[in-house]
């Protein structure tokens, strides 16, 4: 049944309905993920201790590095599995699935052990002060050292399960883990642990929820392994060399882009720390609060990617182009609505997280500026996802590197030098506007070269 439903979604459903089936569960799960990531900050904000908030905020980039490790084989392997299904090569898809899982397990274990060995210097490098160091260490030990492996495997398995058309099952695991985290946060923070250990309570809750989510995905795999092209058994053998190259060719841009996104956050934290812990706490709240439309955009792209990859491989380029256009329009509408809401309700949003007046004042001003980047940020990572669906890892990597290394990160230093704290906040808007222009030029050139002359040969989808 799962196989038949997947084929229908990929081949015969109207494009709008297919995108709805694939993207809506992903969007919903991304919203829940955002809520649970903000729940940590919300509950810590109840203490009115900006040092706790700042300590946890420092670890956001490191946590996201573990997500970038998951992208390496999760995104690359998932995209390839969808393409192989479009080519009717289920045996090779099973081998890719197994390889993606076990490679992710190995690299996640190495990362967690490395963080354990060098935790203290890493925290100082991230900008932890004497007031925030112990809080950051408590959170890092639970979420990164102990929780790194289940976090990475959960994300990899989610991508692999979605790649065969099971978007609802993939998204439910994310949602389940997030809801468990939200429920456990206050239990550990305010009931089970003594006052002063609230950050440790947040870390324990996150660790447990990620472990349970990983367990859920393993149960899903066990239930569908005979009906889909998924396998975690090493006995399936290694995939072909060109398949391995494809996994990394597509997964590497996503991993590097996520890593550089984290570097961008680290740079923001380091530069903002120079203006005091209150400014650091304010930007930490904003970096989470601004993510609602971005997470929605990520969900749209997650739902779009398997559809683009499958139809590109099967030769149905007309259906593929319709999917791309519809996804872009929906994402831009979300961006426009979010700007309006953030501009109106910035003060109220900060008030939800913390009542400290100076943190609220700075955070409201920061949020009203950074939200302007929302549609440009969406278009930037949207284009990367499209090229990943095409299997064009080099172009995806080029755009990812240009976004962060040529535009966003250098502009943070430049604008900070020219305009101080406000320059840091304007860096995202400026950098992503430039990157969207470049992305449009690259995509336009590729589309004209590969699709325009063959559009009349494409099968017209319903």
Tens digit of each residue's pLDDT (9 = 90 or more) over 275-316: 887 888 888 888 878 888 888 998 899 889 888 888 888 888
Output the DSSP codes for 96-149.
HHHHHHHHHHHHHHHHHHHHHHTHHHHHHHHT--TTTHHHHHHHHIIIIIITHH
CA separation for the pair 162, 266 (Å, rounded): 31
Tens digit of each residue's pLDDT (9 = 90 or more) over 305-347: 888 888 888 888 888 989 999 999 999 999 999 999 999 998 8
Other CB atoms within a 10 A radius of the CB of residue 459 amount to: 12
Tens digit of each residue's pLDDT (9 = 90 or more) over 21-53: 888 888 887 787 777 767 777 777 777 777 787
Q: What angle do CA 377, 379, 384 make, to 5 degrees?
A: 100
**pLDDT of the residue at 458:** 41
Averaged pLDDT, 118-133: 80
Residues 6+ apart with CB under 8 A from 297: 331, 334, 335, 377, 378, 381, 382
Cα 389 to the chain's mean position, in Å?
17
Is residue 355 a part of any domain in this protein?
yes
**DSSP-based three-state secondary structure for 46:** coil
Percentage of the chain with pLDDT > 70?
Answer: 95
What is the pLDDT confidence band of residue 260, given thresholds at 50, 70 and 90?
Answer: confident
**DSSP-based three-state secondary structure for 339:** helix
Helix axes 90-117, 60-86, angle to 10 degrees: 170
Is residue 247 a part of any domain in this protein?
yes
CA separation for the pair 378, 154 (Å, rounded): 24
Averaged pLDDT, 48-71: 76
Distances (CA, A) of 163 to 182, 274, 355: 28, 44, 43
Is residue 294 a part of any domain in this protein?
yes
Would the pLDDT of 433 be above 60? Answer: yes
Is residue 156 a part of any domain in this protein?
yes
pTM higher than 0.85, yes or no? no
Q: What is the pLDDT of the chain when averaged over all its residues?
A: 84
Averaged pLDDT, 140-159: 89
Would the pLDDT of 457 be above 60? Answer: no
Q: Which of the listed ranges 41-55, 97-111, 267-281 does the model predict with the highest average pLDDT?
A: 97-111
Is residue 457 a part of any domain in this protein?
no
Is residue 459 a part of any domain in this protein?
no
Tens digit of each residue's pLDDT (9 = 90 or more) over 345-382: 988 888 887 777 888 888 899 999 998 999 999 999 89
The number of folded domains in the chain is: 1
Is residue 272 a part of any domain in this protein?
yes
What is the pLDDT confidence band of residue 203, given thresholds at 50, 70 and 90?
Answer: confident
Per the structure block, which two tokens stand in for 322? 């319709």
CA separation for the pair 301, 295 (Å, rounded): 10
For residue 357, which of 48, 39, 47 has the smallest C-alpha distance?
48
Per the structure block, which two tokens stand in for 330? 């929906």
What is the pLDDT confidence band of residue 452, given thresholds at 50, 70 and 90?
Answer: low
Is residue 231 a part of any domain in this protein?
yes
Q: Are 279 and 362 in contact (CB under 8 A)?
A: yes
Would the pLDDT of 453 be above 50? Answer: no
Domain that holds residue 116: 2-449
Q: Which of 89-98, 125-134, 305-314, 398-407 comes out lowest in average pLDDT?
A: 125-134
**pLDDT of the residue at 5:** 56
For residue 332, which of 379, 282, 295 has the smallest C-alpha distance?
379
Averaged pLDDT, 240-268: 83
């Amino acid at each position: 049944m799962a196989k038949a439903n997947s084929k229908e979604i990929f081949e015969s459903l109207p494009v709008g309905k297919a995108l709805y089936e694939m993207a809506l569960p992903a969007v919903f799960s991304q919203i829940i993920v955002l809520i649970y990531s903000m729940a940590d900050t919300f509950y810590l904000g109840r203490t009115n201790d900006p040092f706790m908030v700042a300590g946890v905020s420092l670890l956001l980039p490191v946590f996201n590095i573990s997500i970038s490790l998951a992208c390496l084989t999760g995104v690359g392997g998932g995209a390839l599995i969808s393409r192989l299904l479009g080519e009717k090569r289920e045996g090779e898809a099973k081998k890719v699935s197994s390889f993606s899982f076990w490679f992710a397990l190995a690299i996640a274990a190495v990362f967690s052990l490395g963080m354990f060995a060098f935790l203290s210097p890493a925290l100082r490098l991230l900008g932890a002060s004497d007031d925030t160091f112990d809080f950051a260490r408590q959170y890092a030990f639970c979420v990164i050292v102990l929780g790194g492996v289940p976090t990475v495997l959960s994300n990899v398995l989610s991508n692999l399960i979605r790649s065969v058309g099971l978007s609802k099952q993939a998204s439910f695991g994310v949602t389940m883990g997030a809801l468990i985290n939200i429920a456990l946060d206050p239990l550990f923070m305010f009931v089970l642990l003594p006052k002063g250990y609230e950050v440790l309570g947040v870390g324990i809750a996150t660790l447990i929820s990620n472990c349970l989510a990983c367990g859920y995905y393993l149960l899903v795999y066990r239930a569908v392994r005979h009906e889909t092209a998924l396998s975690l058994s090493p006995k399936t053998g290694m995939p072909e060399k060109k398949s391995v190259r494809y996994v990394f060719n597509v997964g590497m841009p996503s991993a590097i882009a996520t890593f550089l996104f984290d570097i961008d956050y680290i740079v923001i934290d380091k530069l903002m720390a120079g203006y005091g812990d209150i400014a650091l706490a304010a930007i930490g709240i904003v970096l989470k609060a601004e993510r609602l439309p971005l997470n929605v955009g990520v969900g749209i792209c997650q739902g779009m990617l398997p559809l683009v990859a499958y139809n590109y491989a099967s030769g149905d380029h007309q259906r593929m182009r319709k999917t791309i256009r519809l996804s872009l329009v929906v994402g831009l509408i979300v961006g426009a609505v979010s700007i309006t809401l953030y501009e109106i309700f910035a003060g109220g949003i900060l008030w939800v997280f913390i009542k400290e007046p100076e943190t609220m004042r700075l955070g409201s001003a920061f949020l009203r500026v950074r939200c302007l980047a929302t549609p440009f940020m969406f278009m930037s990572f949207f284009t990367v996802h499209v090229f990943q669906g095409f299997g064009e890892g080099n172009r995806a990597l080029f755009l990812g590197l240009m976004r962060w290394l040529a535009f966003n990160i250098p502009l943070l230093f430049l604008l900070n030098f020219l305009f101080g704290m406000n320059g840091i906040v304007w860096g995202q808007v400026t950098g992503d506007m430039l990157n969207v222009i470049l992305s449009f030029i690259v995509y336009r050139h590729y589309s004209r070269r590969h699709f325009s002359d063959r559009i009349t040969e494409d099968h017209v989808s319903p």
